[in-house]
Structure 1
Amino acid sequence: MATAMSVSAGAMAMSIPLDEYNLVVAGDYKHEGGSVWGTTFIGGNLTGGASEFATTVAPAPVIDSLKVVGDITANQVKVKSGNLVIGGEIGSGSNVELHGAGATVIHDSSLSIDGVVSDLQTASTTLSGMTTAGNMASFNNGAFSYSGDADIAFFDISFEDLFKQNTNFNFSGVAADSLVINISGTQNLNTGSSYNFPGLDLSGNSGLGAEDILWNFFEAEDLTISNPVVGSILAINADVTLMGTLDGSLAAGSLVTQRQIHDYNYTHKVNPVPLPGSSVLFGTALLAFGLSRMGRKKRA
């Protein structure tokens, strides 16, 4: 089933931290190689082998580009730009390198990820309920289509239907600024490697790009991504294994990977807007939502 709804601007935007962070991990992050191009927030420990962070973060102003609430025991950690903020300890066997001018290690025992995780959980739950009748959205054999006048299109699809054999995802038929794919399914989820994104312009200069797509695994408890993905992944309650490059942000409960995560952050914001004549519903009211563009980064 696919759904879409019109949106309006003007209300306070619901926070989705995937526009600020390239990677958020509520628990432990085991990194066996690869890199995270943007900023990272880890709520548990950073373990594993060699890892690189903040590959494309600007050198000035100096920001906190890697935050780790727990301990660092990974063999080698390179922070290419910005500060490392850590709430725990750096293990004696860990080699931590700061490559940016003016960067430093900041020890902060009060560091907490709770607010960010709560915002992501709220966003995932809220987005999963965004449906309406009378829409013009559809999904068929890998092709997403929406021909209405909404700024954002929502698609409700089961994991099994989404990741079928030999699927070529196509977004050229979506006449909206963004799409959110709400994916149902809880355990033993493995995407397989038989899907692709042929012809998609990551920059968004010729239609929807990597920053305009959000995959919301709102029910997932364990998730294996076995192939590259374009768009941001919201799976904040899941143990995630990432086996393919990601062109987008990622929010996970825990993470194991040796792949690159590129900083095509999800830059759209969602605004809660009560429907006319109604009040906000959690039990007795309704929720409608509006979308405001935060500005799309263009890439050559």
Structure 2
Amino acid sequence: MTDTDQYAERLRLSNLLREPALRAAIQALKLPGGSRGLDVGCGIGLHTLLLAQAIGPTGHVTGLDLSPEFIALAGEYARKHDLAEQVSFQEGDMNHLPFEDDSFDWVWCADTLHPDPFNEPLPALREFVRVIRPGGRVALLYWSSQKLLPGYPLLEARLDAAFAEAAPYTKGVHRPEFHLMRALGWLRDAGLENLTAHTFTADVYAPLGDETRRALTMTFQMFWGWLQPSLSAEDWAKFHRLCQPESPEFILNQPDYYAFLTYSLFQGKKLR
């Protein structure tokens, strides 16, 4: 399996956990039937297909990503789900969108626009605003929190703190206005109005199916499985006891296991 295939499988598994929150966020947008939208940073097209379903057969969604491998996989997913006529995919950079002004009714960007010391959010957002028509909207969606270790709140808090310090898209970011929970300010600075924000929850609870167990195990490793240098020996050992499938204390074996994750949606309208 290639690196691209492995990453695509991780995205597919992650989608099992987050899809209820994604669908709720898309429903809250009340996208007009028959509209034309742009999914920036579409990856393998999982969100693109959900958006296409939301606007119906007379609408169209364009997915944009830097990776030609992801674009190819997205096309395969679209054909598999009989949505190839409602979506299209192309390579491109969100800071230099390859589209004319006023080309779309809305832009969706999920878990993609992450400011860092070298990349401010405003250039990309100005591009998003440029390509939507007056009255159109820009929607930014972010995985904003999770509670995955019921019964171990202090351990989970320390794991999350270590992740926040070390994650590639947060490491070295010390400007509070660059935090994703400040996204309404980015939208305002880009000239959008009628700003709103809302958070959606996806719940997971026992009994867990095999795919859900795989998805949660992968998520444990994605967030915390590489943090040994940032943790005490005691916390690292406890993480392994709780989050490794071969452990007798594996937390997913609890008959009353419950977890949740949240996605936060920030949107604004182009009035003129």
What TM-score do you get using the length of structure 2 for normalisation?
A: 0.29
Task: Give the structure with the higher percent helix.
Answer: 2
Task: Give the structure with the higher percent strand.
Answer: 1
Bigger RCO (CA 8 Å, 6+ sep): 2
What TM-score do you get using the length of structure 1 for normalisation?
A: 0.27
